[in-house]
Amino acid sequence: MSYPYQLMTQADYENAYRKSVENPEEFWAGVAENFVWRKKWDKVLEWNFTEPSVKWFIGGKLNITENCLDQWAQKQPDTPAIIWEPNNPNDPTITLTYKELLAKVIEFAVVLKNNGVEKGDRVCIYMPMVTELAIAMLACARIGAIHNIVFGGFSAKSIRDRIEDSQCTFVITADGVYRGAKPIDLKSAVDAALEGDTPVKKVIVLNHANIAISMKEGRDLWWHNEIASLQGKELKDPIEEMDAEDMLYILYTSGSTGKPKGVVHTTGGYMVYVTYSFVNVFQYKPGDIYFCTADIGWVTGHSYIVYGPLAAGATSLMFEGIPTYPDAGRFWDIVDKHKVNILYTAPTAIRSLMAFGLDPLKGKDLGSLKVIGSVGEPINLEAWQWYYDNVGKKNCPLVDTWWQTENGGILISTLAGVTPSIPTFATRPLPGIQPVLVDANGKELEGNNVAGNLCIKFPWPSMLRTTYGDHERCRLNYFATYPGNYFSGDGALRDENGNYRITGRVDDVINVSGHRIGTAEVESAINVQDSVVESAVVGYPHDIKGQALYAFVILDGNISEADALAKINTAVNKEIGHFARPDKIQFVKGLPKTRSGKIMRRILRKIAEGEMNNLGDTTTLLNPEVVEEIKNHRLS
């Protein structure tokens, strides 16, 4: 069994790729035919990258949840849609079939409607990795409300900023989350985020971890009470018909400047692309058990735990816990327990498990695995080899998938078993994706064996449409640097066969354990401390996290270094979240600056990386003497 749009051989891929470039409209219309539309589109595509304006399947009407749920609830009602694995392996697994998941989504959609949520309203979701998170997002999509999911590791301040920026009127959360030995409170962060003036009218709270929390009268409602109030009543399905270009969700992501941006994804094109890419990259076959270890708080979870797999009628495994609890064999136990066929994880998880050696793999079968995947950051050769040899047992294709929050779906990747994998290379663009490499002046680098800035020159169905509330920001960030192109912010090289290798960010965005962090955000969290005069944060290579943050900080002299350290750590926790805390904080007397007062990050980066003898020209600095001092006190 396969899907009508599934590419089975390399020749299929080459063919599809050629067609997708020669006639993109016809190509994507052919793929989109395989979905459930209430009304077909009038026109496939209108676009320009100047404003920018991109519209796919114009005039098409649909509801994405009919594709993810209703069609499968009819065709395969008893197939598991979601298998949920708890944090504690002794707790019961939950399986929701397509029929059951549809019923739960309709039920919760009614709860949302009863509480006043309307089409177009923004709903913030701050939840653990539980089935109710998927139910909440699908219920929003069913009634046309726009979800704005905030990863559970973000602080109250980050939740507040996101709620304010997108004017969310509802929040869905839980009392807490189990990650490792102890439950962690989530609700208090929501309470702190909603202090003072807020657009939020109601908060629906799932009782998941039995943590004592406070419920605010008139604002907070228990999920279970809301569901119980529906029992015995005839439910009218509140499904809305959506336009292909109606907003599906907003997801905030960090850039090199300013506050995080609300990336906007719309309905029709997003659905078509995430499903097409899911089926083709992982070569999903009906009946396969697919396990993506990401958190739904990030785009990978949106596209490849929920929307893509479900629209393909797949069985998607969700895991609440962490790879090292109760021990470093947990992923492998889950693979064996559920006979997982496809495993999709991040290099940082692989490296952290590698550090435990091969013991945790002993006695694990892993024989069910057919395909293994990687996402989120460049995968170094050692991690690639370890994953391929010990997890894939040298007989599973490893797909290194390159993409971004803004892309909606995987853009460059091997198609498992269909096109060749090459260690550390994402390899070839998917059909419909036209990457180009440009030099610093925006000149396209033609031919092979070239390296440059990675851009995409033609629209694809799941690309971002805007940044919420600020279209100019979208233009400036992604379309203005190299006019006529979408600029990814990544560098890449193209080898002699046209395979792409992603070399990492070329801007001030750092990928720490696959979490995307803007150094400017961390600096502003540090700089709000009274005792801090100035700071500069850069990335440096880290064995497990891929990259980590190194902060150089000037103090005003009225505080001890130990106190300053504690204050800075608390501030970063509070302003962003614990995952954004710098691994190294060096107190310095000055920061290297150009004559115009700009911090020379290039020099700091080299020092952080330990490349002290290779600092380049420092003679043009305003204050060359500080460089020696910083070098001498570098933290190793």
Task: Give the nearer residue to ligand PRX in terms of CB position, either 97 or 421.
Answer: 421
For 352, residues 6+ apart whose C-beta sits below 8 A from its C-beta are: 323, 324, 544
Three-point CA angle 433, 275, 141, nearest 5°: 115
Task: Give min distance, CB of 509 to ligand PRX, in A.
Answer: 7
Task: Give the nearer residue to ligand PRX in terms of CB position, either 484 or 504.
Answer: 504
Residues that bind ligand PRX (CB under 6 A): 253, 298-300, 375-378, 400-405, 426, 488-490, 502, 504-505, 511, 516
Task: Give the nearer residue to ligand PRX in terms of CB position, either 159 or 346.
Answer: 346
Distance CA 292, CA 452 (A): 31
Task: Give min distance, CB of 430 to ligand PRX, in A.
Answer: 13
| Residue 263 backbone dihedrals phi, psi, to 5 degrees | -75, 130
Task: Give min distance, CB of 447 to ligand PRX, in A.
Answer: 23
Task: Give the nearer residue to ligand PRX in terms of CB position, either 173 or 405.
Answer: 405
Give 435's strand partners: 456
Task: Give min distance, CB of 304 to ligand PRX, in A.
Answer: 9
Task: Give min distance, CB of 442 to ligand PRX, in A.
Answer: 19
Distance CA 236, CA 238 (A): 6
The SS3 assignment for 577 reads coil
| Residue 343 backbone dihedrals phi, psi, to 5 degrees | -120, 125
Task: Give min distance, CB of 384 to ligand PRX, in A.
Answer: 11
Distance CA 402, CA 382 (A): 18
Task: Give min distance, CB of 375 to ligand PRX, in A.
Answer: 5
Task: Give the nearer residue to ligand PRX in terms of CB position, either 128 or 546.
Answer: 546
Task: Give the nearer residue to ligand PRX in terms of CB position, either 54 or 426.
Answer: 426
Task: Give the nearer residue to ligand PRX in terms of CB position, either 125 or 375.
Answer: 375
Task: Give min distance, CB of 501 to ligand PRX, in A.
Answer: 8
**Tokens of residue 376, six digits:** 């989120």
- Which of 407, 404, 348, 397 is closest to 373 using CA atoms? 397
Task: Give min distance, CB of 301 to ligand PRX, in A.
Answer: 10
For 628, residues 6+ apart whose C-beta sits below 8 A from its C-beta are: none
Task: Give min distance, CB of 273 to ligand PRX, in A.
Answer: 13
Task: Give min distance, CB of 374 to ligand PRX, in A.
Answer: 6
Q: Around Cβ 287, how many Cβ atoms within 10 Å?
A: 12
b/e burial code for range 172-192 (CB count within 10 A of at least 16 → b): bbbbbbbbeeebebbbebbbe
Give 126's strand partners: 173
For 161, residues 6+ apart whose C-beta sits below 8 A from its C-beta are: 259, 260
Distance CA 438, CA 436 (A): 6
- The number of C-alpha atoms within 13 Å of 313 and in the hemisphere containing its C-beta is 19
Task: Give the nearer residue to ligand PRX in terms of CB position, either 100 or 521.
Answer: 521
Task: Give min distance, CB of 380 to ligand PRX, in A.
Answer: 10
Q: Residue of minimal CB distance from ligand PRX?
A: 405
The SS3 assignment for 313 reads coil
Task: Give the nearer residue to ligand PRX in terms of CB position, either 111 or 371.
Answer: 371
Task: Give the nearer residue to ligand PRX in terms of CB position, either 401 or 535.
Answer: 401
Residues 190, 615: contact at Cβ < 8 Å? no
Residues 250, 166: contact at Cβ < 8 Å? yes
Distance CA 110, CA 104 (A): 10
Q: How far apart, in Å, are the Cα atoms of 241 and each of 37, 260, 566, 570, 625? A: 10, 31, 52, 46, 65
Distinct helix (H) and strand (E) counts, the chain: 20, 30
Task: Give the nearer residue to ligand PRX in terms of CB position, either 87 or 453.
Answer: 453
DSSP character at residue 462: T
Task: Give the nearer residue to ligand PRX in terms of CB position, either 63 or 407.
Answer: 407
- Which of 272, 285, 304 is closest to 376 using CA atoms? 304
Task: Give the nearer residue to ligand PRX in terms of CB position, either 63 or 427.
Answer: 427
Task: Give min distance, CB of 305 to ligand PRX, in A.
Answer: 12
For 243, residues 6+ apart whose C-beta sits below 8 A from its C-beta are: 59, 60, 61, 267, 268
Task: Give the nearer residue to ligand PRX in terms of CB position, either 60 or 260.
Answer: 260
Give the torsion sign (CA, 51, 55, 58, 60): negative
Dmax over Cα atoms in the chain, in whole Å?
79
Residues 384, 424: contact at Cβ < 8 Å? yes
Task: Give the nearer residue to ligand PRX in terms of CB position, either 516 or 601.
Answer: 516
Q: What is the 3-state secondary structure (H, E, C) of 239-302?
A: CCCEECCCEEEEEEECCCCCCCEEEEEECHHHHHHHHHHHHHHHCCCCCCEEEECCCCCCHHHH
Give the torsion sign (CA, 133, 139, 142, 144): negative
Task: Give min distance, CB of 405 to ligand PRX, in A.
Answer: 3
Task: Give the nearer residue to ligand PRX in terms of CB position, either 488 or 535.
Answer: 488
Task: Give min distance, CB of 499 to ligand PRX, in A.
Answer: 13
Task: Give min distance, CB of 10 to ligand PRX, in A.
Answer: 21
